[in-house]
Homo-oligomer: A and B are copies of this chain.
Amino acid sequence: MRIRDIGEFGLIDTLAGKILPHSGRVVRGIGDDTAVVQEEPGRLLLLTTDMLVEDIHFDLRYCPLKAVGWKAVAVNVSDIAAMGGVPGFAVVSVSIPPEWEVRQVEELYSGLIACSGEYEVDIVGGDTVSSMRGLTINVALTGYVEPDRVVYRSGASPGDIIMVTGPLGSSAAGLFVLNNYLPDNRTGLQDQVISAHLYPRARLREGRILSGSGYISSMNDISDGLASEILEICRASSTGCTIYETAIPITEAVSAVAAEAGVSPSAWALYGGEDFELVFTVKPDGLGRVTSALKEAGAFPREVGRITAPGQGCLLTDAGGRSREIKPGGYNHFRE
């Protein structure tokens, strides 16, 4: 059996069953945005890692090295945000072709440093090694969260409202523009989605507001598309859900680029990934408070669906009121 036959998530399931904790301090191991470990009283230690590989995650023909560095930190900060936590310290490993210029490595690090500065992360160490082909970069990041603020994927209940912290599909739209338009021929709206793709923001402030509100039952960051992330929440929480396709927030820029591309913008929102907004479930009595707290902080929260009983499945309801099952359609490593 080849790993392309079982895919990334099948592989993770296979491995996770073999990796059993030795220590009673592991609160959550494999299977959430970050690991959660009992450290000192009153604080949980968070630990997460992400690896980006040239020609798998990024293409240096149109992705500046500064953007690769930025994203390598941002994706990890986003995982900490999705637990309701605060990031701390990062270690960075890079595997680099020896023929690279020093200034290329400096450009990569300028992105790492800029994003670390944005989210007050300290880069405290790393490893620099040669590569046989292309750039690989790995960031591991610690964080912490108070035990009464940690938000897992597994806490959603039927009746909870599904929300997102902002509009989706921008990153996929940006990738489309980068792939199809030369820089000189781009419009302002196109530049907007390119920026969302190259320099994604982690919703750290929003995650802290949500984890402090007391009304949030589950949360994920949207790294693989809304469809994949809500399915993870439903699977971990043993629930169903309904997503209202017309309620998914889409910017004018994404609509314009999707029209040019001849695709549905909601498909990019559902399956495109790398938007790094948060999807979360909120108890109905907290909806008003949570929404206004997020708006006050400058976010654009939107209600996109409801958690339902497990027997009801995970459904997408379109403008005509027709429902169909949500398929796991985000990026899945090893699949063709």
Contacts and interface: CB of A to CB of B under 8 A. Distances in A.
Given A39-B40, A91-B48, A138-B138, A1 B101 contact: yes
Given A4-B99, A91-B35, A109-B19, A47 B131 contact: no
A26 B116 CA distance: 14
A316 to B, nearest CB: 27
A109 B18 contact: yes
A119 B96 CA distance: 30
B89 A35 contact: yes
Contacts of A52: 129
A47 B139 CA distance: 12
A326 interface: no
A48 to B, nearest CB: 6
A126 B93 contact: no
Contact-residue bracket for chain A:
35 or more
A43 B40 CA distance: 9
A214 to B, nearest CB: 26
Q: Is the interface of A mostly helix, strand, loop or mixed?
A: mixed
A98 interface: yes
A49 to B, nearest CB: 4
Contacts of A12: 128
A184 to B, nearest CB: 30
A22 to B, nearest CB: 5
Given A91-B140, A102-B2, A113-B18, A124 B47 contact: yes
A56 interface: yes
Interface centre among A11, A29, A45, A98 (most CB of B within 10 A): A98
24 contacts: A1-B102, A2-B102, A3-B100, A4-B99, A11-B128, A15-B105, A15-B109, A15-B128, A18-B109, A18-B113, A19-B113, A22-B121, A22-B122, A23-B88, A23-B120, A25-B88, A30-B126, A34-B125, A48-B125, A53-B95, A91-B140, A95-B136, A127-B138, A133-B134
Given A28-B124, A35-B89, A53-B129, 5 more contacts: A1-B102, A3-B102, A37-B89, A53-B95, A138-B138
